[in-house]
Structure 1
Amino acid sequence: MDEFIELIPGLPSELGLECLTRLSNSSHRVALRVCNQWRRLFLSDEFYSHRKNTGHTRKVACLVQAHEQQPHSEFDKQTGSTPPSYDITVFDPESMSWDRVDPVPEYPSGLPLFCQLTSCEGKLVVMGGWDPASYEPLTAVFVYDFRMNIWWRGKDMPEKRSFFATGSGYDRVFVAGGHDENKNALKTAWAYGPKIDEWTMLAPMSQDRDECEGTVVGGEFWVVSGYATESQGMFDDSAEVLDIGSGQWRRVEGVWEAGRCPRSCVDIRENGKVVDPGLRIGVCSVRVGSRKWVTGSEYEGAPYGFYLVENDEGQNRKLNKISSVPDGFAGFVQSGCCVEI
């Protein structure tokens, strides 16, 4: 970052950089307008890496969350048939604050249904889903840049797929499995690089896996459970693991509870251990640094709640309920991911 000199008049460049590095992310929108040099700095990948390496980024949970939608007609009012609409909620476990990301410009009234959410180098990536009006599967990719607070359209996914596994690491987003527009389960896999806006085909998995769940742990992309086309709803207990470096898959048995849907509730450690989120109904689990954010109910009919797990390594594991949820942020959470901003 040698090109950035005298960032703050009267201070050495190193000290000026240190001061700007400590600015909170919420202040960046204003800082971008101070001068051209500050704008170039704040938008550079080098500055993001510097903030990350010096511990001045923060991790937040980004959630696909339902919000109340006003009925469009008297019929809707009488029947309650207005379908739920979903936005992206941002929860910061440090400040315990709740906020929303601006809507995707092409979908101002709500996200594509069942879209997948992941992150890559401080950017939020929304992929696939169904068009809210036609229910047609989409290949669209949208990227939200927290540095500029804007959305941009990425290169479409090479194949139509729904309910697929996704994860991110090493400047790439990985997708695998799911099903095509004819509801045939898939075993194909791809990687997307937001920086270069390109998709790369990966080796296929050994079997089709619909409604699987994905996560990147260390240098591996885990694709957990799922089922084949002819085994509708019969969730497998195995996982397939992609070694990101070599591009080779391996199969691991007995990872998951057979018959149980893994969607949005898989949490895997680097030793391959799967951590139970502690809830059973409507579960969504997002690891945010050393904590885990969890939502759902303990059993059918139990209250729907939001929780933070401070320690889930041993016997002292406890769900701490988040009691102060602001109005408008108590809706059902479909899925989520952690973003370091």
Structure 2
Amino acid sequence: MQRVRFSSQKAPVHKLGDSQMTLSPKFRVAVIQSSLLNPSLEFELSLQGEPLIPGLPDDVALNCLLRLPVENHGACRVVCKRWHLLLGNKERFFTRRKELGFKDPWLFVFAFHKCTGKIQWQVLDLTHFSWHTIPAMPCKDKVCPHGFRCVSIPREGSLFVCGGMVSDVDCPLDLVLKYEIHKNRWTVMNKMNTARSFFASEVINGMIYVAGGNSGDLFELDSAEVLDPEKGNWHSIASMGTNMASYDSAVLNGKLLVTEGWLWPFFVSPRGQVYDPRTNNWESMAVGLREGWTGS
């Protein structure tokens, strides 16, 4: 939709028959691009002729339609061709929401079938309290669901799945997958430097840290690395100082806390390490803090 602004400007009045005669006042048309519709989307939507919602300007109607919960897209896109054009493409839909400053508070739930091991992501829309699914991850079929580690960067609307393990051969993976809400698709990112499963993973200041875990020969690792999501590059950081697979991790005061997290009650004191990215240094976790974790 385009808005039109009219402005008047006085022009000289000439005698009838004068070859220089003009109208007074003279109207000029200035085209103002709507802030809600970009040229390509506006052109596509205007091809159908009918308004998005009868009685409303298209920019107002678009603002309304962009608030529809995902679970209703299937039913709503059969209303008309213009709705199908907008709601039939989730990448276009969520890109427009992002441009207009809409927020998408989603809770991602990693679900899998106990017998087949089939993995599926379930998403709870916390605005509409409705559930929907997202496309399947582009990874190997027979993987151990517990071996992955998942982190999110909410301000970017992205979810990262790292590592994992092939269940048949107990082989750890170095894969990294990224799901973007606004594109509704997965992207295969650069691999981790070291394949690992059952490791610690957290986000600190927009950087993704992974540490420890099980290696290809099923021995525990002491290595750690960090991913810059914008550049897509991994680089190694200081070693943990102890070989350890992790079942729990957290971020506190800008530091990464990693623990084995054995099942309660603790027959032996679980090990724990604390990493400070400002100094690139690990230190042993206080004994009292280690016993406070219950594990998985």
Distance 2:239 2:158 in 1: 27
Distance 1:93 1:217 in 2: 25
Indicate the residue corresponding to 2:113 in structure 1: 67
Cα 1:224–1:109 change in 2 (3 A) is: closer
CA contact (8 A) 1:237 1:257 kept: no
Q: What is the SS of the residue equivalent to 2:147?
A: coil
Once the two structures are TM-superposed, the CA of residue 139 in structure 1 deviates from its matched residue by 0.9
Cα 1:21–1:163 change in 2 (3 A) is: farther
The unaligned stretches of length 5 or more in structure 1 are: 70-82, 228-232, 264-341
1:248 and 2:295 are equivalent in the alignment: no
Distance 2:273 2:152 in 1: 22
Distance 1:218 1:95 in 2: 33
| 1:84 maps to which of 117, 121, 137 | 117
RMSD: 4.1
| 1:7 maps to which of 15, 36, 51 | 36
Once the two structures are TM-superposed, the CA of residue 148 in structure 1 deviates from its matched residue by 0.8
| 1:191 maps to which of 212, 215, 226 | 226
Cα 1:215–1:252 change in 2 (3 A) is: same
CA contact (8 A) 2:93 2:182 kept: no
| 1:174 maps to which of 199, 209, 220 | 209
| 1:201 maps to which of 216, 223, 236 | 236
Would you tell me which structure has more helix in proportion to its own residues? 2
| 1:102 maps to which of 135, 139, 148 | 135
CA contact (8 A) 2:207 2:229 kept: yes
Distance 1:193 1:104 in 2: 21
Indicate the residue corresponding to 1:58 in structure 2: 105
Matching residue's letter, 1:58: P
Cα 1:110–1:148 change in 2 (3 A) is: farther
1:145 and 2:191 are equivalent in the alignment: no
Matching residue's letter, 2:36: L
CA contact (8 A) 1:88 1:101 kept: yes
Distance 2:73 2:202 in 1: 27
Q: What is the SS of the residue equivalent to 2:131?
A: strand
Once the two structures are TM-superposed, the CA of residue 21 in structure 1 deviates from its matched residue by 12
Distance 1:171 1:25 in 2: 28
CA contact (8 A) 1:113 1:132 kept: no
Matching residue's letter, 2:105: R
TM-score scaled by structure 1? Answer: 0.54
Report sequence identity in percent.
21
Indicate the residue corresponding to 1:159 in structure 2: 194
The unaligned stretches of length 5 or more in structure 2 are: 1-32, 43-55, 78-82
Once the two structures are TM-superposed, the CA of residue 111 in structure 1 deviates from its matched residue by 7.0
| Matches for 1:257-268 after TM superposition, within 5 Å | 257=291, 262-263=295-296
CA contact (8 A) 2:246 2:259 kept: no
Distance 1:161 1:106 in 2: 15
